[in-house]
Amino acid sequence: MQARLIDTCILKRYVSISVLAPFMTEIFWVEDQSHWIKKFSPVLINEDFDGKPNVLSIFHFAEAARQKIALTDKDSAPDVALLDARMNGNDQAGFSVSKALRKKWPKLPILYLSEHSGTEIERAALEQFAATDFIAKHQHNVEQVLCWRIKAVLRQQSIDTNLSATINVVNSGELTIDLNSWNVYWKGQRLMNPSNARRPLAPMPRKLLRELVDVSPRPLSAIQMAERLDLDLEKFSYASYRQHIKTLRRAFDAIEGGDASFTRQCSTGTGIVTFGDEGAYFWSPGKTK
């Protein structure tokens, strides 16, 4: 297995390595003490984590790490981040990098490799900053422990990704909502913006439809919908709710041939149905043909 160690001070080298090794396990490591870097680098470079070459990006300062995060494309996330907690006398240095990583890549596994196990720093890392794991540097066979933990999080991440790709879909009658892409399909055709068939349906109507399907056949009023989506009640009125429902019905109408047949169907109790004194709506899928 071919391994790579990236010197983060040499940007050109980083770019060339990325081109040569497009399929790789990238570890984003922030550590300020050279003796720890010397101790763990060979292990992190040479260990077989998932059958791919390892690329180790090392940052000696939190500021440099945050700058790299800011300049990196959102689609180019590392596979795992390894952070020291207390760096250069600052207890918050590692946490500042963690916040930047979480903001850019919310699902990125973040492990702390620290001398401060069993302290308030560990508690904060796990409780306040949602660390995936916290590994004590001063422990027996720490190199093996570190590799075990990294393998575990990479394996879990792979499982979560595969599950998300296979089961993150909602079906109701002839309606399908893909929760990965948030595309909505009716009778196999994608719902588009009724005012511009070249543009996708806007996010808010899709979210409303998802909630209606989720609670079907129970109706949702504007207040209940706002609460479910954590919307500002002053901005999300019944008038806006009704307008989004109208947009949804028109999007369905377009697939049905543009003759308002879906909208008429809604008045008979199938589709997006008005409930009560026009203050709520519910989803009724009808019978699948």
The segment with the largest mean pLDDT, out of 19-23, 82-86, 165-169, 274-278, is: 82-86
- The pLDDT tens digits for 40-62 are 999 999 998 877 788 999 999 99
Peptide linkage before 42 cis (omega within 30 of 0): no
How many CB atoms neighbour CB 236 within 10 A?
19
- Where does the pLDDT of residue 5 fall: very low under 50, low under 70, confident under 90, or very high at 90 and above? low
Residue showing tokens 């709506």: 281
Euclidean distance between CA atoms 182 and 201, whole angstroms = 10
Closest by CA position to 237, among listed 225, 229, 248, 250: 225
User: Cβ distance 97 to 62 under 8 Å?
Assistant: yes
Instruction: Say yes or no to pLDDT of 7 above 50.
Output: no
Q: How far apart are CA 152 and CA 157, in angstroms?
A: 9
Q: What is the pLDDT of residues 205-260, one digit of tens each?
A: 999 999 999 999 999 999 999 999 999 888 899 999 999 999 999 999 999 888 89
Residue 206: count of CB within 10 angstroms of its CB: 18
147-180: pLDDT as tens digits: 999 999 888 877 766 655 555 788 898 899 988 7
pLDDT(24) > 90? no
Strand-strand pairing, 110-114 and 80-83: parallel
Asked if residue 8 lies in contact with residue 58, where contact means CB atoms within 8 angstroms, the answer is yes
CB 209 within 8 A of CB 248: yes
Other Cβ atoms less than 10 A from the Cβ of 95: the count is 21
Q: What is the dihedral of CA 123, 129, 132, 138, to 10 degrees?
A: -40
| Domains of the chain listed by start with CATH number | 4-166 (3.40.50.2300), 169-284 (1.10.10.10)
Confidence of residue 14 (pLDDT cuts 50, 70, 90): very low
Q: How many CB atoms lie within 10 A of CB 216?
A: 16
What's the pTM value of the predicted model, to 2 decimals? 0.52
Q: Is 64 exposed, middle or buried (0-12, 13-18, 19+ CB in 10 A)?
A: middle
Distances (CA, A) of 260 to 194, 241, 244, 252, 257: 12, 20, 16, 9, 8
